[in-house]
Amino acid sequence: MTESSRTTEADATTIGVILAGGLGRRMGGGDKPMRPVAGRAILDRVIERLRPQCTELILNANGDPARFAAFGLPVVADTVANHPGPLAGVIAALDWVAQRRPGVRWVASVAGDCPFLPRDLVARLHEALKAQDAELAVAASAGQPHPVIGLWSVALREELRHALVDEGIRKVGLVTARYRLATVSWPVEPVDPFFNANTPEDLAEAERLMAQAG
């Protein structure tokens, strides 16, 4: 199978979920992905980079979905009570896909505050998953894994729910460590593709990096 055919197969069988359910406390409250960088909402930049890599995108967010109406994506709320973090968002996406897109086996998750996501993210995660006979795949940069940015099997949704709800494991990395895991690394030059804007200072840095990248 050629490189191009592997990429096409990966794109054709994957739904992307943008995780935007956080409370944004370090940003002073509100929706971090809605904050502007270089004149555009971070979420708009995430959608632009992820959309060509997936057959369909959904947005995981809680509260009034109308605030995201301008982005034109289905908004999927957590299916686990009390908003226990990004793993709940992944599970919500897997539930949505299982119920509404039963032929799809894979969901690619990304954080909603990463404006520099790589354009080959989904293809490379799929390739590593197959090459390493793994069950899950996650991204990494600078020696640091980013378990929220990964490839998830819809078939694992009940196991993930059990880990979160019954065992109380909220940290995504602790859950992914239970599986055969492929970790795919990206270079951090000229910019770390997984840079995320958590604070006002991060927003200012994102502005600088965006200007530097042109």
Name residues whose C-beta falls within 8 Å of residue 210's C-beta, 6 or more positions apart in sequence: 37, 38, 115
Residue 166 has pLDDT above 60, yes or no: yes
Q: Answer whether residue 151 is part of any domain.
A: yes
Instruction: Provide the CATH number for the domain around residue 160.
Output: 3.90.550.10
**Arithmetic mean of pLDDT, 37-58:** 94
Please tell me the predicted confidence (pLDDT) of residue 26: 38
Q: Answer whether residue 84 is part of any domain.
A: yes
Q: What is the rounded CA–CA span in Å between residue 95 and residue 41?
A: 27
Residue 99 main-chain phi, psi, to 5 deg: -85, -35
User: DSSP labels for 66-122?
Assistant: GGGGGG---EE--SSTT---HHHHHHHHHHHHHHH-TT--EEEEEETT-TT--TTHH
- If you average pLDDT over every residue of the chain, what do you get? 89
Q: Answer whether residue 54 is part of any domain.
A: yes
Q: Answer whether residue 214 is part of any domain.
A: no
75 vs 39, which has greater pLDDT? Answer: 75
Q: Answer whether residue 74 is part of any domain.
A: yes
**In contact, 150 and 125? CB cutoff 8 Å:** yes
Domain count, the chain: 1
pLDDT per residue over 78-96, tens digit each? Answer: 999 888 899 999 999 999 9
Range of the domain at 160: 3-209
